[in-house]
Amino acid sequence: MFSSLALLLSIVSTFSTVDTLPVSLEKPIGSVLRTVREMEMTGDTTKEVLQIETTKAKSLDKIIVKFGIYINGKNVFQDQWKASTYFDKRDKWSDTTKWKHLTRILRGFFVNQNFTMSGDEDLQTILERTEAAEIQVRTPEAKEFDSSPHKIFSVYGGRNHLYGLTWLQSMKKFVKVWKN
């Protein structure tokens, strides 16, 4: 005999991350969406906590998406943007439809494909396709970046807010390697 939790887990496990959940399991507009993943990002074998969540609001235009990275419970990086930046202003979708798409975006925010290693390319090669952010070519930080592989997390913060984030030991912080 299944307990309520076991039954719920068996129902949820039958859906892939791109499928919609049954209406009874979807969160209504205005509730907090939160996705968390532990990932070793700093090279010290301790996993950092990456978290993305929304603020509560009655309309999608007022929802703020907050992204943070935590080491031992301390926030060491944070960014935020409006949820509406994921959508074109010309979209005529209802807030309900946009909310469902936002839910999918946040559920897939920390997929493995968004994490890469820098060992395949040096900074100059990366910046040929993108724009420099906090690390400039021919600086001590670029030399550190190029001297050993760094994990880069590609952050998708809306249509015009894309960047690659990595840890630089010399600065003891997360820095934006590239941006769009």
What pLDDT, in 10s, does the model give residues 36-59?
A: 999 999 988 899 999 999 999 988
From 64, 84, 110, the end of a domain falls on 110
The residue ranking higher by pLDDT, 18 or 129, is: 129
Instruction: Look at the chain and report how many structural domains it folds into.
Output: 2
Give pLDDT, residue 25. 53
Q: How much is the pTM?
A: 0.80
The two three-digit tokens of residue 68, written as one number: 């943070």
Confirm whether 94 is domain-assigned: yes
Confidence of residue 23 (pLDDT cuts 50, 70, 90): very low
Instruction: Tell me the average pLDDT across 63-91.
Output: 94
C-alpha distances in angstroms, 154 versus 15, 52, 78, 82, 134? Answer: 25, 13, 14, 18, 15
Residues 97 and 148 in one domain: no
Confirm whether 1 is domain-assigned: no
The residue ranking higher by pLDDT, 26 or 94, is: 94
Confidence of residue 134 (pLDDT cuts 50, 70, 90): very high
Residues 47 and 64 in one domain: yes
The residue ranking higher by pLDDT, 1 or 168, is: 168
Residues 38 and 84 in one domain: yes
Residues 147 and 86 in one domain: no
Query: Residue 3: pLDDT above 50?
Result: no
Residues 135 and 61 in one domain: no
Q: 50, 141 in Cβ contact below 8 A?
A: no
Instruction: Tell me the average pLDDT across 56-78.
Output: 94
Confirm whether 135 is domain-assigned: yes
Query: Residue 84: pLDDT above 50?
Result: yes
Domain that holds residue 152: 114-180
From 110, 132, 159, the end of a domain falls on 110
The H-or-E segment that residue 11 falls in is helix 4-13
Confidence of residue 120 (pLDDT cuts 50, 70, 90): confident
C-alpha distances in angstroms, 49 versus 41, 69, 75, 92? Answer: 9, 6, 9, 36
The two three-digit tokens of residue 82, written as one number: 């409006």
**C-alpha–C-alpha distance, residues 26 and 68, integer Å:** 24
Confidence of residue 89 (pLDDT cuts 50, 70, 90): confident
Confirm whether 103 is domain-assigned: yes
Residues 92 and 133 in one domain: no
Query: Residue 6: pLDDT above 50?
Result: no
Q: 112, 50 in Cβ contact below 8 A?
A: no
The H-or-E segment that residue 48 falls in is strand 48-54
Give me the phi and psi of 44, to 5 degrees please: -105, 10
Give pLDDT, residue 118. 84
Biggest CA pair distance of the chain: 65
